[in-house]
Amino acid sequence: MEEEQKRRFEQSYDTYGAMVYRLAMVYLGRQADAEDVTQEVFYRLLRKAPAFPDQEREKRWLFQVTANLCKDQLKGFWRKRTAALEAEFPEERPEDRAVLEAVLALPEIYKGPIHLHYYEGYSVAETAEILGLSPSAVKMRLMRGRERLKLELGMEELV
């Protein structure tokens, strides 16, 4: 591997590795599975990625590959539909832990949109592009996911 390619790969991993891992954890709920997906995502970045015009396109590509790999893993016949939260996420307040656990308890269709929109800061259109959904489907999943979180957390308003 040439030195410039190695430097770019290391920079990408340092910049986006934690984000890819968090998205995989949101989908899969298991530390080992999230680590496997993260490794596969960066393998694909190294071996199969197209040239990116800017860092934002690279980040979107990484999230799209992560979401697709997670969905594929969840479809596997051996995969159990329930998974306990095993990993520790860095958080600043104990209330954050309750919200994170509530997000992880959501059905799979709501986890990705909520994570990308609220935690990563993507717009509805960008989230739709990453997940391969229509913007209206993302809006509906965000709305329904928020409703479920409100019920789960016993909150009147959830921002």
pLDDT in tens, 11-20: 999 999 999 9
Cβ neighbours of residue 159 under 8 Å, at least 6 residues apart? none
Looking at the chain, the domain(s) classified CATH 1.10.10.10 span: 90-159
Percentage of residues in the chain having pLDDT higher than 70: 84
Q: Which of the following CATH numbers is that of domain 1-87: 1.10.1740, 3.40.1710, 1.20.58, 3.40.50?
A: 1.10.1740
> Could you tell me the pLDDT band of residue 98, with boundaries at 50, 70 and 90?
confident
pLDDT at 83 over 80: no
> Could you tell me the pLDDT band of residue 87, with boundaries at 50, 70 and 90?
very low
pLDDT of residue 90: 52
> Could you tell me the pLDDT band of residue 89, with boundaries at 50, 70 and 90?
low
> 11, exposed or middle or buried, with CB in 10 Å at 0-12, 13-18, 19+?
exposed
pTM (2 decimals)? 0.68
Question: 9-13, 78-82, 108-112: which has the minimum mean pLDDT?
Answer: 78-82
pLDDT at 116 over 60: yes
* Residue, of 88 and 31, whose pLDDT is higher: 31
pLDDT at 37 over 90: yes
What one-character-per-residue DSSP string does 17-64 give?
HHHHHHHHHHHH--HHHHHHHHHHHHHHHHHHPPP-SSHHHHHHHHHH
Count of CB atoms situated within 10 Å of the CB of 95: 10
pLDDT at 81 over 90: no
pLDDT of residue 134: 94
CA distance 127 to 13: 21
Indicate the fold that domain 90-159 takes in CATH: Arc Repressor Mutant, subunit A (1.10.10)
Looking at the chain, the domain(s) classified CATH 1.10.1740 span: 1-87
pLDDT at 127 over 80: yes
